[in-house]
């Protein structure tokens, strides 16, 4: 099963992504715990694409594709921004960064997904969530 959506870079379009995750998880009979992880990580990834990748440029799009192959759910998020180097993102848990208001998204996604991959200079991410049976 695969679902795909393209949205303009407006924060109010996040609800389309929420609905996409809801529908896929309902159809796939996904546990509440896994649903919560997928929803949180996907929303965080799309927020990052809208705010940091596309810099709120409504002409730029964010594409989200979610695939369920019964063993795992893969979420792919792609924006039209300049990309970033994941290796230079500061650790939000270090004492120097603990009070910073930004910088927790990548950390959160890394801790919610079972695997995460960065492609195309960070313009595309793939998060994998294993389905425990």
> For 56-91, what is each residue's pLDDT tens digit?
999 999 999 999 988 999 999 999 999 988 887 766
Structure tokens belonging to residue 31: 């546990």
Structure tokens belonging to residue 88: 């230079």
**Residue pLDDT, tens place only, 16-71:** 999 999 999 998 889 999 999 999 999 999 999 999 999 999 999 999 999 998 89
| Res. 104 pLDDT band, cuts 50 70 90 | confident
Q: What is the DSSP string of 32-73?
A: HHHHHHHHHHHHHHHHHIIIIISTT-TTSEEEEEEEE-SSEE
pLDDT value of residue 93: 65
Q: For residue 124, what are the β-bridge partners?
A: 78, 119
Q: Does domain 2-130 match CATH 3.30.565.10?
A: yes
Q: Report whether 2 contacts 16 (CB < 8 A).
A: no
Statement: residue 103 has pLDDT above 70:
no
Give the start-to-end residue ranges of the domains of the chain: 2-130
- Per the model's pLDDT, the better-predicted residue between 104 and 34 turns out to be 34
pLDDT value of residue 88: 78
Q: For residue 115, what are the β-bridge partners?
A: 128
CB count within 10 Å of CB 26 equals 10
């Amino acid at each position: 099963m695969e679902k795909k959506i393209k949205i303009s870079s407006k924060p109010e379009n996040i609800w389309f992504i929420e609905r996409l995750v809801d529908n896929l998880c309902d159809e796939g009979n996904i546990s509440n715990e896994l649903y919560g992880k997928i929803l949180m990580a996907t929303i965080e990834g799309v927020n990052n694409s809208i705010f940091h990748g596309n810099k709120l440029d409504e002409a730029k799009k964010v594409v989200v594709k979610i695939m369920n192959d019964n063993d795992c759910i893969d979420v792919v998020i792609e924006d039209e921004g300049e990309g970033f180097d994941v290796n230079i993102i500061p650790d939000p848990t270090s004492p120097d960064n603990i009070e910073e208001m930004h910088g927790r998204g990548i950390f959160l996604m890394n801790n919610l997904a079972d695997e995460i991959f960065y492609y195309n200079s960070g313009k595309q991410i793939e998060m994998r969530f294993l389905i425990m049976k």
